[in-house]
Amino acid sequence: MTDFKRDGSHLAFCPPVEKWDDWVELDPEAWPRRVERHYQLVPTVCFNCESACGMLAYIDKETGRVEKFEGNPMHPASRGRLCAKGPATINQIHDPDRVLYPMKRSGPRGAGKWERTSWDEVLETFGTRIRKAIQENRGEEVMYHVGRPGADFIMERTLQAWGIDGHNSHTNVCSSSARLGYLLWHHADRPSPDHANARFILLLSAHLESGHYFNPHAQRIIDGKMAGAKLAVMDPRLSNTASMADYWMPTYPGTEAAVLLAMAKVILDENRFDAAFVQKWTNWEELEVDGFQARGQAFEATIEALKKHYAGFTPQFAEKESGVKAEVIVKIAREIATAGSRFASHLWRGSASGNLGGWQPARALMLLHVLTGSVGTEGGHNLNAWNKFVPKPYKSPPPQKRWNELLYPQEWPLCTHEMSFLLPHFLKEGRGRIEAYFTRVFNPVWTYPDGFSWIEMLRDEEKVGLHAALTPTWSETAWFADYVLPMGFSSERHDLMSQESYAGRWIGFRQPVNRVLRERNGEKFEYTYQANPGEVWEEDEFWINLSWAIDPDGSMGIREYFESPQQPGKKLTVDEYYGWMFDHSVPGLPEAAKKEGLTPLEYMRKYGAFEVTRDVYKQNEKALSATDLADTKIEANGVVTKASKPIGVMVGEKAVVGYNTPSRKLELFSKTMADWKWPEFTLPEYYRSHIHRAAREASEGRLSDDFDPRYVPTVEWPKDAHGAVYTLLPIFRLPNLIHSRSGNAKFLYEISHKNPLWLNPVDSKKLNARTGDLMKVHTEIGYFVLHAWVTEGLTPGVVACSHHLGRWRIDKDEQVERMSSAWVDLKEVGKGQWKMRQLESVSPYDSPDPETKRVWWSDAGVHQDITFPVHPDPVSGMHCWHQMVRVEKAGSEDRYGDIFVDTNLSFAVYQRWKALARPAPGPNNLRRPLWIPRVVRPEESAYYMNGNEKK
């Protein structure tokens, strides 16, 4: 401990590394006495969102108990800072309601009866069932379904070692529309904006307060602002992000692409675009639009054709669509043009995940980057693939030979990720069944739309043979599992992570801090659960052991990938798995470790993170080496191919890698869209979402010419749905909650525990509603009841409700999270007709943690997502979250938190949306374009339909 100094120099932002082994602080509980406490600080990585910020666990040297978490100053992305969710890890690890031992159901599925079991029994049961499925050629019946992964690569490797196509993810309810918009341009499915060096930043979501890479990005956005960058935010809601902006554009939801294309038109018409960049780095020569063909024409003629094509996107048209004033659109377009190559932006959820056609705003936004030449530049838009670093493990299994149609069905050949939210409907249609199902730190019953269809699927043992919920906490989904298997939080597990946080590449190492510390002090553990609370395990060791249980003698060819690289035949340890990667696959790490007399693994255990490089700009300009160029051919369009596969492109006289698209350039014109039955979308376009004014009118029986049934399904209201029609925005995040992962973080729930219905005063007047009034919101499949909150922070005609709240529990006290959920009565009152009523909300309770007696809040919010039908976008496959709803004041029979859903109606809505899709095959009898990325990519032959042959 440093002595107090009047000038404050004794205060340190973070403890310096040399003091991590004995960090001294005064015990706040002993105050006013000055009692010193000695801590050992062990780095790990936060597991509460995908940002992967670096944390330090403060472990009391006397008790061995983790007392708090703070930022790790040695982590290059988070730089010692955390958001509220990082330090709240302390609540999660000491939560008295958490799952501590593997549990097995002891009554019918969903009845809530559990008994403790052993990890050996779990491995034996799942090992036997999975082995049999694989041996009987039923590999598709084994499915791993992940929420936010919080880890890179190990699961993909595991599933490929098993030879199955079984990876499912939540991404299609999260970000896949934005991903499609980006990847059509440059193959990378997300941006890495260089906010810190930008001169103008445009955010199409609440990225500053709750973005995907929230804390690291927020720091860089503020760095950029401090250095003089202007910030503009497009959001129908006055979010905290919008309140920090220089310009707030409250667009009517779903019209964002119209505004962006109007900005592009201004930049084109005023000739303020970077012509040299567009000519050099886009595939303009392939453009075919409105009868014009660029091939053989001058670049200038192509620009004229583009100007003509976008002529209708006047700022006045965009104003009419969006509500944003034409002069604001023009002003911002000019500011973007002035920023030029230092224009940064982000779009992840928001308009992309809310709207039908939500992939178009990302595509239109990229057009602004292309026109300003701000791709790959300092202060501009970089590709995530350039800023994320995923080291290779010691031995990689070959890609699987199979294609699982429950994951990638034929109807949505351009979906970027698995069509996971439709799984109950697929099983209802008889497309398959599941023998062994793992939900991994994931709660689809609560997080997905149409959760009652999930309950119906999960409770049906014909459809789902065996279900394990791998989770640190009890959840609505775990309730319907056969096994609940406790997995560790941030400080109880190993994972390796990297994200595109800034202009640099880094890795962060999550580690079980108690095990690490005790091993440093001479103890030895075979498995992490021996050092964790109870028998909480970690997934790495679980998958290694399960792989051995599936293939105990190695005869299936699985076990070899889970054997020690140093001692073949012996089981792989986590030290060996990560140690090998750090030794061989992370450039610069062995040298950095050597300088300190450490092995690379010791270095990562000591610091928890490593910056690999900062040389990240303009990766597309990297020259092809002589080895790359051996046996290549230059095609007529300048693409360099090797064995018929594009590997680069000629730019002038130079062969460079370019982008990973078919043209190896930024694809202004997407031939892929034409080839896959969407010829009207070869260029960035705007089309009207399912919640556009025209669709709203159509839902009230007033069909206008603006309503286009080729893209927008009709709405059929349930008989008893009354009230005025509104657009509901259900997807905005609260910065301090984590979907369903924060239910056991009392510090976070103390801050946020209500999700009222936002109403503009214009609308509250129409509805005769005041703040606190009970409102009934009807969806196409049911309704929910909640309180109104009247606010001017929202566009009129639109209502909003945050999706983070509304947790519920079926049992009052057992196997539940009491501080964040309402105790409910759940009934199936008719076939597929579900009613939920809150019996009791949150209240203080006795537990080993005295804080639970001090719970003062008495609300858990209302679960709205469960009343939404599925809306698969016909192109991207993304669930379109925004809802057309009818809103009225609640009746005398209605109570706060009431929910009703008819899953027969939800199946009908699914059918209406599915009918808009344009299914595979595409050219050559392909299931999906070969160049578009796929999670856990199978071998190429699996991409062809009908006997896996090219036709």
Q: Which residues bind ligand SF4 (CB under 6 A)?
A: 46, 48-49, 51-53, 78, 82-83, 85-86, 214-215
Q: Are 874 and 917 in contact (CB under 8 A)?
A: yes
Q: What's the token pair of residue 519?
A: 């091993």
To the nearest whole angstrom, how small is the minimum distance from the Cβ of residue 207 to ligand SF4?
12
To the nearest whole angstrom, how small is the minimum distance from the Cβ of residue 378 to ligand SF4?
25
Strand 833-840 relative to strand 821-830, pairing? antiparallel
To the nearest whole angstrom, how small is the minimum distance from the Cβ of residue 215 to ligand SF4?
3
Closer to ligand SF4 by Cβ: residue 89 or 906: 89
Closer to ligand SF4 by Cβ: residue 55 or 336: 55
Closer to ligand SF4 by Cβ: residue 215 or 752: 215
Q: How far apart are CA 402 and CA 408, in angstroms?
A: 11
Q: What's the token pair of residue 205?
A: 């979501």
CA-CA distances (angstroms) from residue 754 to 442, 777, 786, 845? 22, 16, 10, 20
Q: How far apart are CA 219 and CA 224, in angstroms?
A: 9
Closer to ligand SF4 by Cβ: residue 745 or 890: 745
To the nearest whole angstrom, how small is the minimum distance from the Cβ of residue 199 to ligand SF4?
26
Q: Are 20 and 516 in contact (CB under 8 A)?
A: no
Closer to ligand SF4 by Cβ: residue 215 or 416: 215
Closer to ligand SF4 by Cβ: residue 49 or 581: 49
Q: Are 39 and 3 in contact (CB under 8 A)?
A: no
Element (H, E) at 575: helix 574-584
Which has the closest alpha carbon to 768: 887, 889, 885? 889
> DSSP string covering 582-638, please?
HHHTSTTHHHHHHHTT--HHHHHHHHSEEEEES--TTGGGPBPPHHHHTTEEE-TTS
Q: What is the CA radius of gyration of the chain?
A: 27
What are φ and ψ of residue 733, in 5° steps? -90, 155
Does residue 663 sit in helix, strand or coil?
coil
Q: What distance lies between CA 787 and its chain's CA centroid?
A: 29
Closer to ligand SF4 by Cβ: residue 82 or 99: 82
Q: How far apart are CA 951 and CA 948, in angstroms?
A: 9
To the nearest whole angstrom, how small is the minimum distance from the Cβ of residue 733 to ligand SF4?
11
Closer to ligand SF4 by Cβ: residue 84 or 774: 84
To the nearest whole angstrom, how small is the minimum distance from the Cβ of residue 741 to ligand SF4?
9
Q: Are 203 and 241 in contact (CB under 8 A)?
A: yes
Closer to ligand SF4 by Cβ: residue 73 or 413: 73
Element (H, E) at 785: strand 782-790
Q: What's the token pair of residue 889?
A: 């004041």
CA-CA distances (angstroms) from residue 491 to 55, 235, 770? 9, 36, 45
Q: Are 388 and 76 in contact (CB under 8 A)?
A: no
What are φ and ψ of residue 457, in 5° steps? -70, -45
Closer to ligand SF4 by Cβ: residue 78 or 852: 78
Closer to ligand SF4 by Cβ: residue 158 or 175: 175
Which DSSP state fits 251?
P
To the nearest whole angstrom, how small is the minimum distance from the Cβ of residue 69 to ligand SF4?
9
Closer to ligand SF4 by Cβ: residue 90 or 649: 90
To the nearest whole angstrom, how small is the minimum distance from the Cβ of residue 89 to ligand SF4?
8
To the nearest whole angstrom, how small is the minimum distance from the Cβ of residue 888 to ligand SF4?
38
> DSSP string covering 175-225, please?
THHHHHHHHHHHS-SSEEE-GGG-SEEEESSSHHHH-TTHHHHHHHHHHHH
Q: How far apart are CA 774 and CA 315, in angstroms?
A: 40
Q: Are 330 and 315 in contact (CB under 8 A)?
A: yes
Going along 27-163, which residue ranges are E strands?
A: 36-45, 54-60, 66-71, 103-105, 114-116, 142-146
Which has the closest alpha carbon to 64: 574, 531, 602? 531
Closer to ligand SF4 by Cβ: residue 639 or 738: 738
Closer to ligand SF4 by Cβ: residue 67 or 288: 67
Beta bridge partners of 39: 23, 60
Which has the closest alpha carbon to 45: 511, 606, 395? 511
> DSSP string covering 716-769, please?
---TT--SEEEEEE--PPPTT--TTTTTT-HHHHHH-----EEE-HHHHHHHT-
To the nearest whole angstrom, how small is the minimum distance from the Cβ of residue 210 to ligand SF4?
9
Closer to ligand SF4 by Cβ: residue 72 or 727: 72
Q: Are 529 and 100 in contact (CB under 8 A)?
A: no
The residues, ordered by sequence, that sit 6+ positions from 800 with a Cβ below 8 Å of its Cβ are 236, 237, 728, 729, 730, 732, 757, 758, 794
Which DSSP state fits 666?
B
To the nearest whole angstrom, how small is the minimum distance from the Cβ of residue 577 to ligand SF4?
23
Length of the chain: 951
Closer to ligand SF4 by Cβ: residue 56 or 130: 56
Place of tokens 């998958």: 543
Closer to ligand SF4 by Cβ: residue 78 or 876: 78
Closer to ligand SF4 by Cβ: residue 499 or 755: 499
To the nearest whole angstrom, how small is the minimum distance from the Cβ of residue 752 to ligand SF4?
14
To the nearest whole angstrom, how small is the minimum distance from the Cβ of residue 890 to ligand SF4?
35
